Amino acid sequence: MILVGELSLWIALLMAAWTTTVSFAGGMQARPDLIKSGERAMYATFGFVVLASVGLWTALFTHDFSLKFVASFTSANLPKVYLFTAFWAGQEGSLLFWTLIMTMYAAIAVFTNRDKNRAMMPFVTGTLGVVALFFLMTMAFAENPFERLDWVPADGRGMNPQLQNPGMAAHPPMLYLGYVGTAVPFAFAIGALVTRQLDAQWLGAVRRWALVSWFFLTIGIVLGMWWAYVELGWAGYWAWDAVENSSFLPWLTVTAFLHSIMIQEKRGMLRKWNVTLVVLSFLLTILGTFITRSGVIESVHAFARSPIGNWFLGFLIAATAVTVYLVSTRLNDMQAKAELESMVSREAAFLYNNLVLVGICFATLWGTLFPILSEWVKGDKITVGPPFFNAVNGPLGLLLLALTGIGPLIAWRRASVANLQRQFTAPLIAGVVVFVALLALGMRDPYALASYLLAGFVFGTIIQEFVKGVGARRRMYSEGLFVAFFRLIGRNRRRYGGYIVHFGVVVLFCAFAGLMFRKDITATLKTGESVKMTDAYGHNWVFTSQGISFFEQLNRRVTAVTFDVTRDGKRMGLLSSEKRQHVNSRGEPTFEPSTEVGILESPKQDVYLVFTGAVDRDTAAVHINFNPLVWWVWFGGIVMAFGGLIVMWPQAQKAEREGGYVAQIPMGRELEPVGAGA
Amino acid sequence: MESRNPLTHRSGQSRRAFLLQVGALTAGTALVSRRASAQQPAAVAPGGEEMTSDSYKPVSRPPKPGAKPTMDAKQLEAFERELACPCPCTLDIYTCRTTDFSCGISPAVHGDIQRLVDGGYSGAEIMEALTGTYGDFILNAPRKEGFSLVAWFAPFAAVAIGGVGIGVLLRSWRMNAKRTESARPSRTAATTGETTLDATPEELAKLQAALREER
C-alpha cells in the first residue's frame, strides 16, 4: 500500500498537469470534449491523492521507519490516535494533507457546477488544477513524504510532546479546511475574470465557499488558541505570533468579503472590491504558508527552515502577477453605476466595516513583516511583539465592534433621523447602563470600560433585532414565542445567523477585556507549605502543596506537583501540574521535558497552575495565574461557529422571503416581511 | 535562606536546577538536545544548546556605591514584559522564564536584570545597557522614534487614507444618485411628504408581491 501511495503521488501530479492543460485549452477553444476530460482528470487527481494519503497513513500505522517522515515524527510507542495525527505533524505530510483537502474541494466544486456556470468552469477547473499541481510538484520534488532513509532505524524520533494533545488532532485540519477553502473562490474569480462574466452570478457560486472557508478558519483559529492555552503553559491564548497572524489575515479578508458581497448582491456595486477581496484572501493564505514554512520570520511554531519557502514565494509572485494583469485588463467590465441615496446608509456602514477589517489585516501583516523591512533598511533586526499589535489593533478592534452594532441598525439606501432615533435609543441605553454599572463597581481600565460599553451596545442591537423580528412574526402569523423565534431564524438564516455570529464576537471581546484583570504569582513551596493570593474579584485563595510525585504513564515519565486549593476558606479541590519526559520504545528520552498545566476552569475565571521546576524531591517552583473570563473565549468561538453554520445551511428560495420584519416602515402602513439579509 | 522563602522571583535558578533534577531522576541520562524538525515548536526543538551559546550575551555593571534595589517584584515583572526573549519563543522575558520552553536565555537575562536592579541601576539605565548589548531586538515593540516610528504610523495612516478614500467614493456615489434623481420627473409619494420612508418604491412593490405570493 505504501508503494501504491508513492506511485499515486506521481500519477496525481500527471493528472493535475492534464487537468490544467486540457481545461484551459477546452475553455479557450470552446471544446466540450477537452472540458469534460479536464473535469474527469480533476476527479482522478483527487482519487490518486486519496490513495497517496492512505499510503502514508499505512506507513505511519505500520511503523515503517524506512520512511524519513515516519521515523522523524513517530515512535513505536506513540499512542495510536497520534499515529493518525502524525500525518500533519511535519512539513511533508502536512503538504499532502493540504493537497488532499484541496483536491477534495476541487472535485466537489467541479461536481456541483457540472450543470452550472459552464462558460467559466473550464477556467475554474484549470485554476484549481494549477494550485493542485503546485502542491504536488512541491511534494514530489522538494518535500516528498515517501522519501526513504538509507538505513532503517530501530525506532523513530517520536512526536513533539506539545503536539500530543487533542487540540492538535483537530486544529490543523480545521485550519487547513479554512485555508484551502479560499482557493475555490479564487478559482471562480479567475474564471469570471477570464470570461468577463463579472456580474453577480459568479458571486453566487463563491459565497457558500467563502462561508465554508470562514467557518473552518474560525473553528481552526479558536482551537489553536485553546491548544496554545492548555499546552504551551504561558497562560495566554494569542501571542501575535507570525503563524497565528498568518491564519488571522485571510479570516479578516474573508469576513470583509462576506459583508461587502451583500452590497453587490443588493445594489450591484463594489464589483472590483469583491474580486480584490477574494483574490487577496487566497494570496494571503499562500503568503501565510510562505511565512510559516520558509523560516524568514521566527515563530514559536513555525516549520523548520526549508527550501520550499522559495517555491511558495515564486507561486505567490506568479499568482499575484496573473491576477493583477487580469483585473487591470477587465476594469471596464467591472464598472457599475454606483449610486447612494444617503451618506447615512447601510452601504456606507459596510464600507467602513470593510475598511476596518482590511485595516486590521494590514496592521497585522505590517507588524509581522516589519522586522524584515527594518533589517533590510537599517540592517538591524527588531522585534514587533504583542505590545505593538495590542496598541495598534486594540483601537481598530473597538471601532470594528462599534460598527458591528451600527451596521445592522442603519437602513439600506437611506436612514432617516426618525429611523436612527428609533433604532439606536435602546442599544445605546444598554451600553451606557453597562458602562455606569462597571464604573460603579470600581472598574477603571479605559480599554476594558470601552470594550464593555460597546459590547453592551452591540448586544442591545442584537436583542432589539430579535425582539422586533419575533414580535412581527407573532403579530403577522399568530405564532407562539418559541415558534416565532425559531421560525424567524429558520426563515432568514443569513440575517439572523449573522446576528448570532455578532453575538459571538461580543462575547469574545468581553472575554479579551477580562484579561486586563489578570493576576499571577510565582512561588517555591515545600510539601505542606502554602501561598495566599487575592484574585480580581476579591476572593482569597490558598494553595497548599501536597508534594511532588513521580510515575510512568503511556510513553512518558511524569513528575507532578499537586496543590490543595481553597477559596475564601471553602475547599475547591486538588490542582496538579506535570513535567513530562517523553521516551521512545527503548526508554530513551525524546525531546526536552514539557509542562502539562493544571486548570481550575469556571466561567468567572481560570486558575492556571504551571509547574516551572523542582528544586529538590520535595520543593516545587510554580507559577499561578488567575485568568478572568477565558472560558468565554471558547464559548464565543462556539457561538460564532454555530452562527456561521446557520448562515451556511441551505435554504429553500420561497422560505427566504418570509421571516424578517421591516423596521423602517412607518406606523400606519401594513407590516410586511422582508427576505433580504442583514 | 532564600529557598526557604515560599515567595521568590528567582524561578530561573529553580528551572535550571529542575532540569538537572529531571535528568537525574527520570532518565538517568543526559537530556538529548535535538534539532528542530518540521512543526516542532522551534523554541523547544533547537534546544538550549543553540540558543544559550548564540543568543545569550551577559550584561553586567559594577554595583553603584551604597546601592539599593531600584524596583520591587511587580515593577521588575512589568519591566521584563517590555523585553523580548532572544529565543524564538516570541514571548517576553517574564512570560518565557515563568513558562516552560526549556529556554536557557530568559532566566539568564532575568539574572542580569536582577543584578543590575540590586546594583542600583534605574530602568532607563538597564534598558540602555541591554539595548547596547543586544540592539533594539531585545525590545518587545519598536521604538517610537526614527525609522521604527514608521511601524506605528503606517497602520493608522493606511486606515485614515482609506477612510478619506471611502468618503470621496461615497460622495461620488451620492452625486450619481442626485444626477439620476434630477433626471427623473418625480418620485412617488412613498419618498415624499412628511414621513421619510427607508424603503424605496421598488422595494415596497417587491414586498407586496412577496406577500401576495405567500397568501
pLDDT digits (tens, 9 = 90+) for A299-319: 555 555 567 888 899 999 999
Average pLDDT, chain A: 89
Given an 8 Å threshold on Cβ–Cβ distance, is B82 in contact with A664?
no
Residue of A nearest to B49 (CA): A592
SS3 assignment for B54-122: HHCCCCCCCCCCCCCCCCCHHHHHHHHHCEECCCCCCCEHHHHHCCCCCCCHHHHHHHHHHHHHHCCCC
Per-residue cell: A501: 455570529
CA distance B12 to chain A (A): 9
Q: Give the mean model confidence (pLDDT) for residues A384-402.
A: 95
Angstrom CA distances, A47 to A8, A22, A533, B84, stand at 9, 18, 59, 47
DSSP lists the bridge partners of residue A543 as: A531, A565
Report the C-alpha gap between A435 and A430 in whole angstroms.
9
Q: In what order do the strands lie in the sheet with A619-628?
A: A519-526, A619-628, A605-616, A598-600
Given an 8 Å threshold on Cβ–Cβ distance, is B148 in contact with A241?
no
Residue of B nearest to A419 (CA): B198
Contact A26, A34 (CB under 8 A): yes
pLDDT, tens only, A345-383: 888 889 999 999 999 999 999 999 999 899 899 888 888
Q: Give the mean model confidence (pLDDT) for residues A416-429.
A: 88
Report the C-alpha gap between A262 and B184 in whole angstroms.
27
pLDDT, tens only, B35-62: 233 333 333 332 233 334 457 899 999 9
CA distance B65 to chain A (A): 31
* Domain assignment of residue A326, yes or no: no
Report the C-alpha gap between A9 and A50 in whole angstroms.
9
Please give the pLDDT value at position A660. Answer: 44
Please give the pLDDT value at position A197. Answer: 86
Q: pTM for this one?
A: 0.86
Q: Return the number of other C-beta atoms located less than 10 Å from residue A206's C-beta.
A: 25
* Domain assignment of residue A558, yes or no: yes
Q: Give the mean model confidence (pLDDT) for residues B118-145.
A: 93
CA distance B185 to chain A (A): 17
Residue of B nearest to A357 (CA): B159
* Domain assignment of residue A40, yes or no: yes
pLDDT, tens only, A229-288: 998 888 899 989 888 899 999 999 999 999 999 888 888 888 889 999 999 999 999 998
Q: How confident is the model at residue A103 (pLDDT cuts 50, 70, 90)?
A: very high
pLDDT, tens only, B7-41: 333 333 344 443 334 333 333 323 223 323 333 33
Q: Which residues of B touch A589 (CB under 8 A)?
A: 26-27, 29, 31-32
Given an 8 Å threshold on Cβ–Cβ distance, is B159 in contact with A352?
no
Q: Of the segments A87-91, A267-271, A527-531, A664-668, which one has the largest average pLDDT value?
A: A527-531
CATH number where A568 lies: 2.60.98
Q: Which residues of A touch B151 (CB under 8 A)?
A: 366-367, 370, 374, 384, 388
Q: Return the number of other C-beta atoms located less than 10 Å from residue A323's C-beta.
A: 21
Question: Which range among A500-514, A586-600, A610-624, B115-129 shows the weakest confidence by mean pLDDT?
Answer: A586-600
Q: Among A162, A306, A589, select the one facing B27 at the smallest CB separation.
A: A589
Q: For an interface test with B, which of A94, A266, A341, A400 has the most B Cβ atoms less than 10 Å from its Cβ?
A: A341
Tell me the residue range of the domain where A4 lies. Answer: 1-158
Residue B198 has pLDDT above 70, yes or no: no
How many helices (H) and strands (E) chain A has is answered by: 20, 9
Q: Which residues of A touch B213 (CB under 8 A)?
A: 654, 657
Please give the pLDDT value at position B30. Answer: 30
Q: Among A89, A581, A591, select the one facing B34 at the smallest CB separation.
A: A591
* Domain assignment of residue A613, yes or no: yes
Q: Which residues of B touch A355 (CB under 8 A)?
A: 159, 162-163, 166
* Domain assignment of residue A72, yes or no: yes
Given an 8 Å threshold on Cβ–Cβ distance, is B141 in contact with A411?
no
DSSP lists the bridge partners of residue A540 as: A534
Under 8 Å CB pairs connecting chains A and B tally to: 322
* Domain assignment of residue A239, yes or no: no
CA distance B122 to chain A (A): 22
Q: For an interface test with A, which of B3, B37, B192, B206 has the most A Cβ atoms less than 10 Å from its Cβ?
A: B37
Residue of B nearest to A229 (CA): B99
CA distance A45 to chain B (A): 26
Given an 8 Å threshold on Cβ–Cβ distance, is B210 in contact with A673?
yes
Total tally of structural domains belonging to chain A: 2
Q: Among A351, A588, A674, select the one facing B166 at the smallest CB separation.
A: A351
Q: Which residues of B touch A239 (CB under 8 A)?
A: 90-91
Given an 8 Å threshold on Cβ–Cβ distance, is B39 in contact with A239?
no
* Domain assignment of residue A102, yes or no: yes
CA distance A20 to chain B (A): 30
Given an 8 Å threshold on Cβ–Cβ distance, is B41 in contact with A351?
no
Report the C-alpha gap between A249 and A608 in whole angstroms.
30
Contact A199, A335 (CB under 8 A): no
Given A134, A158, A182, which residue is the final one in a domain? A158
Residue owning grid cell 475574470: A193
pLDDT, tens only, B59-84: 999 999 988 999 998 899 999 999 99
CA distance A516 to chain B (A): 14
Given an 8 Å threshold on Cβ–Cβ distance, is B7 in contact with A241?
no
Question: Which range among A68-77, A554-563, B98-107 shows the weakest confidence by mean pLDDT?
Answer: B98-107
Angstrom CA distances, A481 to A108, A301, A612, A636, B19, stand at 40, 49, 54, 25, 62
Residue of B nearest to A524 (CA): B6
Residue of B nearest to A595 (CA): B100
Question: Which range among A127-141, A183-197, A404-418, A540-554 shows the weakest confidence by mean pLDDT?
Answer: A404-418
Q: Of the segments A187-201, A512-526, B201-215, which one has the largest average pLDDT value?
A: A512-526
User: By C-alpha distance, which of A98, A91, A67 is closest to A307?
Assistant: A91
Q: How confident is the model at residue A89 (pLDDT cuts 50, 70, 90)?
A: confident
Burial of A40 (0-12, 13-18, 19+ CB in 10 A): middle
Q: Among B84, B155, B176, select the one facing A362 at the smallest CB separation.
A: B155
Report the C-alpha gap between A136 and A95 in whole angstroms.
8
Given A158, A189, A211, which residue is the final one in a domain? A158
Given A597, A613, A631, which residue is the final one in a domain? A631
User: By C-alpha distance, which of A259, A496, A676 is closest to B206?
Assistant: A676
**A501's torsion region: left (phi>0), alpha (psi -120 to 50) or beta?**
alpha
Given an 8 Å threshold on Cβ–Cβ distance, is B42 in contact with A304?
yes
Residue A63 has pLDDT above 50, yes or no: yes
Q: Which residues of B touch A520 (CB under 8 A)?
A: 98
Cα A522 to chain center, whole Å? 33
* Domain assignment of residue A504, yes or no: no
Given an 8 Å threshold on Cβ–Cβ distance, is A595 in contact with B100?
yes
Look at residue A534 and give its three-state secondary structure.
Answer: strand
Given an 8 Å threshold on Cβ–Cβ distance, is A94 in contact with B38?
yes
Residue of A nearest to B94 (CA): A234
